[in-house]
Chain A
């Protein structure tokens, strides 16, 4: 439950504080980066353990390969870089060296989605869910707030196998309290509702929650699910949402192709067909603007999401939805 929408947090802070806590207890944890010490907020880690920060310079293919080699040598590498370059430039290393080899590498995509909004599409990372989701064996997590980020980092450190943490720098409110226990592969229903379901993750979860509040004023009770783990996807929660509420809206800071909406649709169409609306970046390179501006622009303001949900609600039961 979100009580304070105005105090926003940069989840990178929870990421590095958790990483440093874990690293102080386990000296096998190392950080690998591509000159991204500042943007990954690894300055504190470097000051505490300079030798355990492996900075390969601006060379992402080498960075991911080095991570795989460190894992072979018994280390637990957190490979940190802007998500656009980590997943785009080094995709084959992620496929062969990490996923296929099943190396114990933690890929940390910083500033994912449109966090670098003004810098343009080279720096946008709205393809990373799609690219990583098709690779077997990578657990993909996009936490929605600081508490969930902490849980996701702790999970990554303790899980034996590849993990992709999709992190943002765009401010989000606290959604979960500090007692929240993150369980990989298990979605959380953060608002009950029977009329339809809104599923989101990362920076969209609080927007989805606000959209549900707007819908409630119109008499529509929307269930809101935070699906932090994209892979493996929580099939049971999706099937329950579809069968109990009859319609699903998804929203993500990602292309509408291949991401959260697609992953949910793959379950829905095969197990429990109901109408869906997939909100995201609609197959275009985004124009200039901040992440929050662009999310609003692409129909993912609280109002935008509520309008899409409203329309879907009234289309429930129709054979074809315009």
Chain B
């Protein structure tokens, strides 16, 4: 019997061809060496997708709760940007605006990208950053010297497409990426009227947002009819929260908190708020080589 299995298994494994590495992975490999060294604080909690594919806002796993209303929010200062440090230089980040599917970005599309980036930077408290068009398809972001520009980079590089996704009985992990076509979104981030960083009743960082009337109606209808089901909010197809619906949420006022030992920290809450508030980039961008702004230019 065992012998038989040992003969059959290789044949079964090699009967059909398996797919090759997708283009996105080949592309990601080439960018791996460009990614800065980072610490894996909890390697089991998140995906590196975020910075190799400039896609993920990854939060921690925890018992997450989604709730209507705004229970005693305390002010939380966005802390995405560390204080400028005297021994760091102004950082120059250069991006290429990429086509989206068959759509080629025009000059006004690039201007729209720039204004989203400006909004994101402003909402996270960066002082003295500039976002300018350069050449035919480039955008240059210059930042005051910061000890750690990585959070900013990630914030800038994300498309930031937000979706509200009913999951039914599928329990997803925060940080997990939802493949295309796996779940249909109920609505997208364009139904968010405003978002802000807050604190939950225990003082932990939370994110609050208000939905527009149409989003409010859809969310109320869905949540009231699907108590006990899972529901995810995703950014660029990565789950930022995937709680169980505990009650119908009628008023479009939503607070997301991370529970358990994890939860959002103030930094990630600020980044998520910036994305929710600024809306998505109309076209994806790719970071080109970056260097300190006052470094002498080197020959290509």
- Whether chain B is bound by chain A comes out as no
